[in-house]
Amino acid sequence: MPPRLLKALKIAVGCSAAILIARLLGLEHGTSAGVITLLSIQDTRRDTFRVAGKRFLDFFLALGLALLTFPSLRYGVLAFGVFLFLFTLLCYLLSSEEGLSSNVVLASHYWIAGALTPRLVLNELALLVIGVGLGILVNTYMRDISGRIRQDQAFIDESLRNLLLALSDRLEGRPPRPHMEFSPLRAHLKDTLARSRAHEDNRLRKETRYYSEYAALRRNQCALLENMWEAADGLSFLPEQAAATAALLRDVAASFHRLDNAGSLLEELEGRRAAFRTAPLPATREEFEARALLYQIVRDLIYLLRAKKEFAGRLTEEQLRDLWPEGPQDCTARP
């Protein structure tokens, strides 16, 4: 079911159920329970719980201000205006704006009644409990988008592999591969990161942070790869060190999906960087600039692999067990 259709269905069912329950309990202003349910249904479970807590905090804040302003100003329009000013100001100061609208509606019932009796306060509290409770209840069902995120991961991994191979071809003087653009990949990474964070907020489980951390890793690696491409585009000719660097790029691309390859590849790259230092000095300015750009490519490739190594080191046993039931070596096919 499309996300917007699912949310519309939740709103319709939740609001109707809240109003029905309020009426069955004989509560006054039962439609307000439906309005609170509408305002309580958020895009993620985490947001729903967060907003629920703020609504209850704001309820007691509104009650205190109503007791302070309504009787002293004789429940006039001025009383409601002063209450609204103070309540709005405090909600902003406490970063609790989510509870503003629903509790203004509830407080207006005290003002309309011209009294703040215990029975009316309990009535409004019951409306809040029903509205927030139904909002939480209907949001217990959230679409599992982990399958979509895994498809995103496979696409991102394949795109980065192809860009690494294309860069290797560039350093060997081969014709460029078609459709080697970063814009679609950047857009896909942005969408994947948003989906991953929403999935994390819906599941409320620690191990689901892997998905957003993975997307952040690939976004950083994509930025490094863009820097490497910019350096390669500045090469006016290919020095002799370019072939060895191209071979390293192919090695990285070939094992891009593995978690345990960064250490050995980093050793090779550090050796390649050391070879740059010990090589004879360039004979011409053109050669000097070309080798400097090549050195920059190797440096960024080291950063790319270090980021991967740090990411793999942060994975917990639970994440490895749940995401790679047959072992952590293949994180493209599994996650």
Alpha-carbon gap, residue 187 to 181, rounded angstroms: 11
Look at residue 227 in the predicted model and tell me its pLDDT.
Answer: 93
Chain-centroid distance, C-alpha 150: 15
How does DSSP classify residue 76?
Answer: -
Contact 318, 326 (CB under 8 A): no
Are 68 and 224 spatial neighbours (Cβ–Cβ below 8 Å)? no
pLDDT tens-digit map of 241-297: 888 889 889 988 887 766 655 667 787 777 777 776 666 666 678 878 888 888 899
Judge whether 135 and 36 are in contact, CB under 8 Å.
yes
The confidence score (pLDDT) of residue 326 equals 40
d(CA 214, CA 307): 11
Which of 145 and 323 is assigned the larger pLDDT?
A: 145
Residues 88-105 have pLDDT tens digits of 999 999 998 888 999 999
pTM above threshold 0.85: no
Query: What SS3 string covers 237-258?
Result: CCCCHHHHHHHHHHHHHHCCCC
CA angle 170, 186, 323 (to 5 degrees): 100
Mean model confidence pLDDT for the chain: 85
Q: pLDDT at position 248, please?
A: 87
Runs of H (alpha helix) within the chain: 3-24, 31-40, 45-69, 77-93, 100-113, 118-138, 146-171, 183-203, 209-233, 241-254, 262-278, 285-314, 317-323
Q: Which amino acid is at 28?
A: E
